[in-house]
Structure 1
Amino acid sequence: MVKLHVKHGDESQFLYETTTNIPIDDLIHQISLLYNGRLKVHRICNEMSMLAKHGITLPVNMQGLTDDQITDLKLKDEYEDTCIPMDGYVEEVDAMGKRNGRAPTEKMRSIIERTIQEAKDKISKKLVQADQCVTCDQINEALQQLKGAVMIVYPMGLPPYDPIELEFKNQEELEGTQDSLDVIPEPDMTIWFSGKEMQRGKVLADFVGKNEKTKVIVKVQKKGNAAPARERVVSEDEQKQMMAYYYRKQQEMKKLEENEDSSYMDSAWADPNSLKRQFQGLNDIKWKPR
């Protein structure tokens, strides 16, 4: 099995294990599921973190309004008294005005926070350093864990317009958000290896060879964008270590120069022209004034 170290730009994403005879179309499909699936888990984790701090999302027409404005406009959150966390709630006002400020209690909050961390660990970029691959099963398991935690803390469910609920139903609306810039839909995804795009209709072996016991770096890119930059000859960490090494050497040489006694340079044996004068018989010449 060949291992693909998948990157986006210079940033590592995950490791994926496959065979060299996989069609590029299938490879793009699989990597698209993993790449966008990881983004989905992180989006849900971010929203759940806010859920634990400030409660459920307000209706769109109430977000960003003050209490006085809501009263004047006679707006009402119909899910306010229905979607209540288990064990009650504590008042935690959302400064952004996006959530209703009815946060879960400390016990329920800890369930959400612990599940968030477990889900992130399953798809962490640190797995690349540990040489561990990410699979679709791991992503699905992370999603199920997050969904289970929400059901425990909010047994009556979340409002249908809550971003978390929309994510679980695959109805999220990302257009116009920063998250939409990170997502690469499968039809728009291209994979690059060694500065060349892997063309659909071919197989992986056409680009990386038939050796199954190999590990290569590939980069995902949106169709139509310029080719991704080539890999650095040395990594950022290696470059920092080299700079630190040469800086230490420079300081050591500077210290030696400051402490060095150069009086020996006045000695006859240190004269670089001494041997030449000796052969020419000019060593003992003395100057006498007229």
Structure 2
Amino acid sequence: MVKLHVKHGDESQFLFEIPASTPIDTLINQISLIYNGRLKVHRICGEISMLAKHGITLPVNMQGLTEDQITDLKLVDEYADKCIPMDGYVEEEDGTGRRNGRAPTEKMRSILERTIQEAKDKISKKLVQADQCVTCDQINEALQQLKGAVMIVYPMGLPPYDPIELEFKNQEELEGTQDSLDVIPEADLTLWFSGKEMHRGKLLSDSVGKNEKTKVIVKIQKKGNAAPARERVVSDDEQKQMMAYYYRKQQELKKLEENEDNSYMDSEWADRNSLKRTFQGLNDIKWKPR
């Protein structure tokens, strides 16, 4: 299995293993599922975190309005009394006016928060440092964990327009948001290795060779964008270590120069020409000033 260190720009994303004989089309499909799946998990985690703090999302026409405005416009949240957290709720007003302020109790909140952390750990970028790969199954497991936790806390479900519900149904609306810039559809995703694009219709082995024990860095890029920058010869950590090493050496040399006592050079025994003058009989010559 070839181990791919997948990056987007200079930022590490995840490690992925796949046979060298895999078609590039299949490889792009798998990497797209994992890359976009990780983004999806993080989006859901962010929304569940807000759900735990401030309750369900208000209808779009009520978001951002004050209570007086809602009363004047005679707007009603029909899901407020239907989507009640297990064990009841506590009032936690949402300063952004996006959620109804009926937050789960501490016990239920802890379930959501713990599940969020577990889901993030399954797809964390720290797995790259631990040399652990991420698979599509891990993405699905993380999504199922999050879905299960929401069902425990909200057994009656969430409003159909709630971002969490839309994410679980793959009906999320990202257009016009920052998240939409991060997502790269499979059709627009290209892979690059060693400064060259890995073209569809070919095999992974055509780019990286047939050695199944190979570990290489591949970069994700959106179709139509310029080629991603090549990997630097020296990483940031290695550069820092080198600079620290040469700085220490410089300080040591400086300290030696400051503390060095050269007075012994004036001693007779330190004179390199003393033996020569002895044989020539010149040691006892005394010079007299004119």
TM-score scaled by length of structure 1: 0.92
Unpaired runs of at least 5, structure 2:
none
Q: Which residue of 2 aligns with 1:62?
A: 62
How far off its partner does 1:180 sit?
1.0
**What pairs with 1:1-290 in structure 2 (closer than 5 Å)?**
1-267=1-267, 288-290=288-290
Q: Which letter does structure 2 place at the counterpart of 1:99?
A: R
How far off its partner does 1:202 sit?
0.9
Alignment: residue pair count: 290
How far off its partner does 1:167 sit?
0.2
Give the 3 Å change call, closer, same or farther, for CA 133–268 of structure 1 in structure 2.
Answer: same
Q: Secondary structure at the match of 1:13?
A: strand
How far off its partner does 1:279 sit?
11
**Worse-matched range after superposition: 174-183 or 253-262:** 253-262
**Worse-matched range after superposition: 259-268 or 151-160:** 259-268
Deviations 1:121-144 (A, max 9, x none): 111122222222211111111111
**Percent identical across equivalent pairs?**
88
Q: Which letter does structure 1 place at the counterpart of 2:136?
A: C
Unpaired runs of at least 5, structure 1:
none
For 1:182 and 1:278, locate their aligned partners in 2 and report how far apart those are by CA, in whole Å: 85
TM-score scaled by length of structure 2: 0.92
Deviations 1:7-27 (A, max 9, x none): 111111111111111111111
How far off its partner does 1:224 sit?
1.2
**Worse-matched range after superposition: 56-65 or 275-284:** 275-284
How far off its partner does 1:250 sit?
2.3
Deviations 1:35-83 (A, max 9, x none): 1011101110111011101111112222222222222332222211111
Give the 3 Å change call, closer, same or farther, for CA 285–105 of structure 1 in structure 2.
Answer: same
RMSD: 2.3
Deviations 1:233-261 (A, max 9, x none): 22222222222222222222222222222
How far off its partner does 1:263 sit?
2.2
